[in-house]
Structures are given as structure tokens and as C-alpha cells.
């Protein structure tokens, strides 16, 4: 097919091969690939892309946010809680991070932790 690369000119492959002059993947390109995977309802691939972005930059805020959100959607609450904590640290205490962490705790049935997280977010919200 016209969309298939040919490794040796005779045998097509289904993957594009990286060339020596290709630009390196960045956290932003990995993040974009994760968003595309989410749009295609492929959460497994999205998680893998966000994790790759975080290998390059452990504090890549957009990837932390989406990874935690996907884990929350999948009800992988322990994983989600850990990533929301990383998001909060990376954003130096963003109120939205505490709100999302609280929601995650609430979904997991941990209402005491949910209340603490919600209150922490309210305390950090300059517009309250």
C-alpha cells in the first residue's frame, strides 16, 4: 500500500523507521500522541505515551494531568493518586490538582482523604 514504508525496497513494513536526522521525541510530542490515542478511545496507548513523556521530563505538567485523569477514569485509583500528588508538586500546589485528587479519593471511597484534599485546594484558591 502507498502508506507503508519499505525497509529494503522490497518488503513493506507497517512502521515508519526513524532516520538519523529525525528530530528527537519531546515531552510535547509524546503528550500530543497521548491525546490522539485518547481521542481514539485507546487508553492503553495514551498511558504509554504519557509515561514516555514523563521519562523525558518527570515534571511535564500536561502529561501528569492527563495520565492521572486516565487512571482515574479507569478506576486505577492507587496509580491515579500517586500521579495527582506528582501533579500537585510539579504545579507547586495548584488548587485544581487538589480538587482532582479529592475527586479521585471520593471515587475510591476514601471520603476522609477526599475531604482533606478538597479543603487543601480551597485553602490554596486565591479566588475563594
pTM for the model stands at: 0.80
Residues 67, 54 contacting (CB under 8 angstroms): yes
Each residue of 78-125: pLDDT tens digit? 999 999 999 999 999 999 999 999 999 999 999 999 999 999 999 988
Amino acid at each position: 500500500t502507498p502508506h507503508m514504508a519499505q525497509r529494503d525496497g522490497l518488503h513493506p513494513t507497517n512502521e515508519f523507521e526513524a532516520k538519523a536526522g529525525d528530530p528527537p521525541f519531546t515531552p510535547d510530542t509524546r503528550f500530543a500522541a497521548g491525546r490522539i490515542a485518547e481521542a481514539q478511545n485507546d487508553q492503553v496507548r495514551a498511558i504509554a505515551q504519557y509515561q514516555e513523556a514523563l521519562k523525558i521530563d518527570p515534571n511535564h505538567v500536561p502529561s501528569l494531568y492527563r495520565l492521572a485523569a486516565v487512571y482515574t477514569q479507569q478506576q486505577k485509583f492507587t496509580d491515579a493518586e500517586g500521579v495527582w500528588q506528582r501533579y500537585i508538586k510539579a504545579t507547586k500546589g495548584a488548587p485544581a490538582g487538589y480538587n482532582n485528587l479529592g475527586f479521585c479519593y471520593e471515587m475510591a471511597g476514601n471520603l476522609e482523604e477526599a475531604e482533606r484534599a478538597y479543603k487543601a485546594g480551597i485553602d490554596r484558591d486565591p479566588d475563594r
